[in-house]
A and B are shown apart, each in its own frame.
Chain A
Amino acid sequence: MNPPDFFGPGHRACAGCGCVITLRHVLQALDGKCFVVNSTGCMEVVSTPYPESSWDVPYIHSLFENAGAVASGIESALKALGRKDEGKVVVIAGDGATADIGVQTLSGMLFRGHDVLYICYDNEAYMNTGVQMSGLTPLGAHTTTSPAGKVIPGNSLDKKDMPSFALAHKARYVATSSIAYLGDIKKKVRKAGGIVGPSYIQIHSPCVPGWGYDSSKTVEVARLAVETGLYPIFEYENGELISVRKIKKRKPVEEYLRMQARFRHLFKDERGKEIIEKIQEIADMNAKKFGLDA
């Protein structure tokens, strides 16, 4: 029997949406015993068209960049009113809301030590507004504000290291995960849910229209990101690296890149080849840093 869902059907997300997979399983892992703070973005827009709502948990959407602060306020209120046992305060925010515009309120929330679980669903660009580059867009990716042009071949920057940002704030628990491994998401969310204090989990959540792949391939593309070493899956508790998802035989990054329209231009010329080499270097560095190779 399937566990109960706290995110109802009938939402407006795209077929094959990786982000909905993330949030459904986050809510299931917490048995719906939580308060959700959702930043402006895809998940908010698709789930709360008045007078409907997909959320079977207490839910608030305030603004794009203040989820960390709103969550701090909810947690403080629950403490002040003696209602802490009602449930965990959970932020569900996209990569732009987390790594760019909302980074200050996330910093404040982590620094002050609020008992909040912050989930970043990382689909690697501002998808809600039509695929613009964010601080978590990977190197080489074409977005509408980092287009693959005749002079500049897509995004020239690489992903901001937000797990390290959270670790630098002494977050109690910091982890990455991927919708390719639902058991991993649930295990980590349950663990963070049981820890008193701030925690940060970044979950790789592919976007069908933003990345350009067939909607039946969401899990496959997510798995390749992990198997190539481009999205290392790890967890830190109290600053210590406690687990890493090992890879039996690391695949070349081309396998992952080739599946997606956002990297298509890299396969057309010499310049693209150089960028693919740089992306391979990033994967190799991840493998070395986290000991990914089994």
Chain B
Amino acid sequence: MIMRKVVEGSIAVAHAVRTIKPDVIAAYPITPQTHIVEKISEYIANGELNAEYVRADSEFSAISILVGASATGARTFTSTSSQGLALMHEVLFNAAGMRLPIVISVANRALSAPLNIWNDQQDSISQRDSGWIQFYAEDIQEAHDLLAIAYRVSEDIEVRLPSMVCMDGFILTHAYEPVELFEESEIRDFLPDYNPEVYLTTENPLTFGALATPEYYTEFRYVQTRAMERAEKKIAESLKEFNEHFQRGETDLLPVHGPEDGDVLVVSSGSLVSTVKEVAEKLGNDGFGVKVGKMLCFRPFPADAMRKIADGVDKVIVFEKDVSPGSEGAIFSEVKGALYHSENRPEAYGFAVGLGGRDVPERVLEKLIMECIRGERKEGFHFGDVRPVREAIL
């Protein structure tokens, strides 16, 4: 029986967490993820979820608590945003290096300064080298579903890496959509209980977090990178199995929407993908062949799949909610990097849009895509939607 309900994005995520049954949950409030930990607190207070729920003194402590719990063999969860994720930075590398399958949800939000509580993806994109698997949800259903997939992939013995499931702050966390919610019984079949082979126990004393000299450090990073490569295969398998199990969700690592023979490929991530799809469909009706590539996971980066979906297109356009000052958008760089080895390299255009919660209406995307199609834009990276500014120092 399918349980379909109209719920807020954060509540859908909290529901998924309840059915996944982590043993230890750490929590610290930050807008716009707060509703997630509030709802989980309610489950705990009402006895609807039996877990150790630790009200941490900061996000830094929250993720550190999960490091201890996960190393002891517990399934763990926390949720954060923006400054909170930035505060976790040091621990993120540590958790990944110790190969702890922690799963967190990230409500994507801009970073300060200037202070801004609204959505973009600078927070998680800038954690790309921390060794975490990164998923980006297009809608609330996907944010809910990807949590189960994240635990399954992270806890796989061939992977053992932490995951963050990212969802756009406010746009998804605070929106209401009809969602097919997990039943506890059906989730058990897809996601088995977590029974690690290696954990802290007095019965078999092990040392976690040793000191590795130059003689060994490289090999630790090498095996971690290999695990991330295996994660790519596991994610693809898990998506297919999830779809078979629940009859919903994407079945490809890098799903494509729109005409297969389209000569323009637009790549984007998160909720922006939905808007891009609408625009592509409209442009299709006007006679332009525009297809949309959805970056479901940024780490591991699906480079092979990117080459495959870009095969035969004239132009690739990337819309992303982040920028690396002094360089360009991170997704744009990586898309171009993947296409370097293509036989026919397409033209490449990258746009930063939707920074700090700036709305991204269809007309803005349509205008930018058409400018690229008409050859009115230089190849390379641009701010997609910026007003004229006078820089004070000049």
Contacts and interface: CB of A to CB of B under 8 A. Distances in A.
Interface of A: 32-35, 37, 44-45, 48-51, 53, 55-63, 66, 68-81, 83, 86-87, 104-105, 107-108, 111-112
B90 A63 contact: yes
Q: Which 4 A-B pairs have the closest CB atoms?
A: A73-B68, A108-B57, A69-B64, A77-B72
B65 A76 contact: yes
Contacts of B69: 73-74, 76-77, 80
Contacts of B185: none
Given A62-B68, A112-B54, A112-B55, A69 B202 contact: no
B201 A58 contact: yes
A35 B200 contact: yes
Contact of B64 (A53, A70, A107): A70
A51 B219 CA distance: 12
Contacts of A107: 57
B200 A74 contact: yes
A55 B209 CA distance: 12
**Which residue among B67, B71, B72, B208 has the maximum number of chain A CB atoms within 10 Å of its CB?**
B72
A249 to B, nearest CB: 45
Given A60-B68, A73-B65, A77-B72, A48 B94 contact: no
A37 B208 CA distance: 10
Given A51-B216, A76-B65, A58 B211 contact: no
A57 B54 contact: no
Contacts of B384: none
Interface in B135-174: none
A140 B62 CA distance: 38
B60 A73 contact: no
A81 B73 contact: yes
Nearest to A54: B207
A73 B94 contact: no
Contact of A60 (B58, B71, B74, B203): B71
B205 A73 contact: no
10 contacts: A48-B209, A49-B210, A51-B216, A60-B209, A62-B209, A63-B94, A73-B65, A76-B69, A77-B69, A81-B72
Given A45-B211, A70-B71, A105-B57, 12 more contacts: A37-B68, A44-B211, A49-B211, A53-B207, A60-B207, A61-B210, A63-B91, A66-B64, A71-B68, A73-B68, A77-B73, A104-B58
A107 B201 CA distance: 26
A62 B74 contact: no
Given A44-B211, A108-B61, A112-B55, A58 B68 contact: no
Given A48-B210, A50-B211, A76-B52, A70 B202 contact: no
Contacts of B62: 69
A56 B74 contact: no
A54 to B, nearest CB: 9
A74 B61 contact: no
A82 B92 CA distance: 27
B208 A59 contact: yes
Interface residues of B, number: 43
Interface of B: 23-24, 26, 51-52, 54-58, 60-62, 64-74, 76, 90-91, 94, 98, 200-203, 205-213, 216
A187 to B, nearest CB: 23
B205 A56 contact: yes
A23 B188 CA distance: 44
B94 to A, nearest CB: 6
B61 A66 contact: yes
B29 to A, nearest CB: 14
Nearest to B66: A73
Given A50-B211, A81-B74, A58 B57 contact: no
B64 A63 contact: yes
A111 B56 CA distance: 10
Given A69-B61, A105-B57, A62 B67 contact: yes
A59 B216 contact: no
B74 A80 contact: yes
B64 A105 contact: yes
A60 B52 CA distance: 20
B51 A80 contact: yes
Given A66-B67, A70-B68, A73-B68, A79 B52 contact: yes
B216 A50 contact: yes
A103 to B, nearest CB: 11
Contacts of B91: 62-63, 66
A215 B166 CA distance: 55
Given A66-B91, A80-B23, A72 B216 contact: no
B72 A55 contact: no
Contacts of B66: 73
A17 to B, nearest CB: 17
Contacts of A74: 68-69, 71-72, 200
Given A73-B26, A77-B74, A58 B210 contact: no
Nearest to B68: A73
A176 to B, nearest CB: 25
Contacts of B74: 76-77, 80-81
A81 B201 CA distance: 12
B213 A77 contact: no
B216 A77 contact: no
A34 B202 CA distance: 7
Given A60-B71, A66-B60, A105-B61, A72 B54 contact: yes
Given A50-B212, A77-B73, A69 B68 contact: yes
